[in-house]
Amino acid sequence: MEEQRNKLPNFLLSVKLKYVKLGYHYLISNAMYLVLIPLLGVVSTHLATFSLKDLIQLWEILKFNFVSVTLCSSLIVFLATLYFMSRPRSIYLVDFACYKPQEDCICTRETFIEKAYLFGQFGDEILSFQKKIVERSGLGQKTYFPSSLMRVPPNYCMEEARKEAEEVMFGAIDELLEKTGVKAKDIGILIVNCSLFNPTPSLSAMVVNHYKLRGNILSYNLGGMGCSAGLISIDLAKHLLQANPNSYALVVSMENITLNLYLGNNRSMLVSNCLFRMGGAAILLSNKPSDRRRSKYQLVHTVRTHKGADDKSYGCVFQKEDDTKKVGVALSKDLMAVAGEALKTNITTLGPLVLPMSEQLLFFVTLVGRKIFKMKIKPYIPDFKLAFEHFCIHAGGRAVLDELEKNLDLSEWHMEPSRMTLYRFGNTSSSSLWYELAYTEAKGRIKKGDRTWQIAFGSGFKCNSAVWKALKTINPEKEKSPWIDEIHEFPVHVPQVAKIDS
């Protein structure tokens, strides 16, 4: 016992290394202040020794160098003016709204399999395959299908597809205009993105006609850009707002299911049937300085990555006809590997913009050790939890969320908005990021100064990011969103396999 008392404690067990790393992070992040504060103290002490006679002497020197003082002052004023005139305009997210369909559009897991059977297009083997996908999908019992597909037989025609588009877009826009108090005539920029449904006139023209928007509006309709098109729309709106002062930009993100249900037997094309559900979102952006006080967020960064030059990436999500000439979207087996490469490229660009110096230094030292000194050490994965408080990861499917949770070393709390959105609303394509942000707000998690990272993947293959900074603390009691009436029910446990009764 005496020998045990004389032994030193095991510091690796008694001191948690994560706290050591946290201390290192704060030390490096505040290194500039730690150096400047003593320096300012020395300068202040020196200035305190100045007497009135010293100040008068300094004034006499400046008086006899009037031309130099005037030139220096003018140069300072000119450079300050040039800086303030040329710096990018701040982009604010005034508010956003997510569409919540009517209860008669609710499609349980059992209802989905029942409808697939009643369609009469699938054999027993294909029905069994879809059943397995739905059971492992992470989708819950209250996702939504358009009313046209809830009928037996389904009515998938252009008229019904237009009805679905109008219901989703106008429902979200009406709520947004009500929340913000902005008049439709005040909107100067309109961007609508929908990957698979592109009628003529366009969806953006449909919005212009319904709300009687002004004739000189800058309207854009983005198609075929997949689930990451929502952030492409945000990036496009950002650049348009930089060029058009005192403007509002309305972004509408959605997908249309009515005409895009695959009724063939190609398994790679059937997965999208099991995951995609009805939904959409409308977002109002502004570059008006006067809107800062009432806006929720400020756009900090957008980073876009396109891997379409690589054939494997280009073809991993591909709309085509099967052997029986039925159209569907085929998902390649290489999808996860392609997504991983796109993510790596995207965060390599984003990292230096958002990560604290402590993480960048660790990454650089590890890289030098591996590449130059050939040291056998693992690549250092930066801790993005030091850069962001909240994560909104596109709810494309359970496998995607599992991989990102592991690769980014995120906790269940960080993944909760994405997993609950997938469970409650399914994969609503480009709008899923906004359901996730609405979930975070409804939980009362958004505090002033918090940073949120939205990241989405899409066909092409693309990986896009947007970073937002909260301008105020969001009070969920004052919010209107699809989660508010039921947020107390979440989070829920999502089993690996949710059996469907035959």
Segment 22-30 long-range contacts (CB within 8 Å, at least 24 positions apart):
24/358, 25/356, 25/358, 25/359, 25/386, 27/358, 28/356, 28/357, 28/358, 28/361, 29/356, 29/357, 29/358
Higher pLDDT, 381 or 273: 273
Secondary structure string (H, E, C) spanning 438-472: HHHHHCCCCCCCCEEEEEEEECCCEEEEEEEEECC
pLDDT at 444 over 90: yes
Q: Which of 52-61, 365-374, 430-439 has the lowest mean pLDDT?
A: 52-61
360 pLDDT tier (thresholds 50, 70, 90): confident
Note the pLDDT of residue 120: 80
Segment 124-171, tens digit of pLDDT: 999 999 999 999 999 999 999 999 998 888 888 999 999 999 999 999
How many angstroms separate the CA atoms of 159 and 155, rounded? 9
Helix axes 109-118, 124-135, angle to 10 degrees: 160
pLDDT at 254 over 70: yes
How many angstroms separate the CA atoms of 327 and 456, rounded? 25
pLDDT at 329 over 70: yes
How many angstroms separate the CA atoms of 2 and 11, rounded? 20
Token output for 98: 């997510």
End-to-end CA gap in the chain: 66
How many angstroms separate the CA atoms of 319 and 311, rounded? 15
How many angstroms separate the CA atoms of 301 and 123, rounded? 48
Token output for 48: 């305190």
Neighbouring C-alpha atoms within 13 Å toward the C-beta of 497 = 5
Q: Which of 290-299, 380-389, 395-404 has the lowest mean pLDDT?
A: 380-389
DSSP lists the bridge partners of residue 249 as 189, 285
CA 333 to centroid of chain Cα atoms? 25
How many angstroms separate the CA atoms of 306 and 346, rounded? 9
pLDDT at 493 over 50: yes
Q: Which of 47-51, 116-120, 205-209, 278-282 has the lowest mean pLDDT?
A: 47-51
Annotated domain spans of the chain: 91-489
Segment 469-484, tens digit of pLDDT: 999 999 999 999 999 9
Mean pLDDT, residues 13-37 taken together: 60
Token output for 438: 């609405």
Mean pLDDT, residues 90-102 taken together: 97
Q: Give the active site residues.
A: 227, 306, 390, 394, 427
What is the per-residue burial (b if ≥16 Cβ within 10 Å, else e) of 168-182? bbbbbbebbbebbeb
Note the pLDDT of residue 6: 47
How many angstroms separate the CA atoms of 269 and 320, rounded? 9
- Largest alpha-carbon pair distance within the chain? 100
The CATH class given to the 91-489 domain equals: alpha beta
8 pLDDT tier (thresholds 50, 70, 90): very low
Q: Which of 19-33, 185-199, 234-248, 300-314 has the lowest mean pLDDT?
A: 19-33
How many angstroms separate the CA atoms of 139 and 151, rounded? 21
DSSP one-letter string for 467-501:
EEEESS---GGG---TTTTTGGG-S----S-----
Segment 38-62, tens digit of pLDDT: 878 877 777 777 777 777 776 677 6
390 pLDDT tier (thresholds 50, 70, 90): very high
* Contact of 272 with 234, CB cutoff 8 Å: no
User: Which residues lie below 8 Å from residue 465, measured CB to CB, with a gap of 6+?
Assistant: 231, 301, 302, 303, 304, 346, 347, 350, 453, 454, 455
What is the per-residue burial (b if ≥16 Cβ within 10 Å, else e) of 97-120? bbbbbeeebebebeebbebbeeee
Note the pLDDT of residue 1: 44
Token output for 132: 């397995």
Token output for 152: 């037996």
301 pLDDT tier (thresholds 50, 70, 90): very high
pLDDT at 93 over 80: yes
How many angstroms separate the CA atoms of 448 and 308, rounded? 38
83 pLDDT tier (thresholds 50, 70, 90): low
Length of the chain: 502
Note the pLDDT of residue 128: 94
Q: Which of 171-185, 370-384, 395-409 has the lowest mean pLDDT?
A: 370-384
Helices (H), 65-142: 66-86, 109-118, 124-135
Segment 190-235, tens digit of pLDDT: 999 999 999 999 999 999 999 999 999 999 999 999 999 999 999 9
DSSP 136: T
If you average pLDDT over every residue of the chain, what do you get? 89
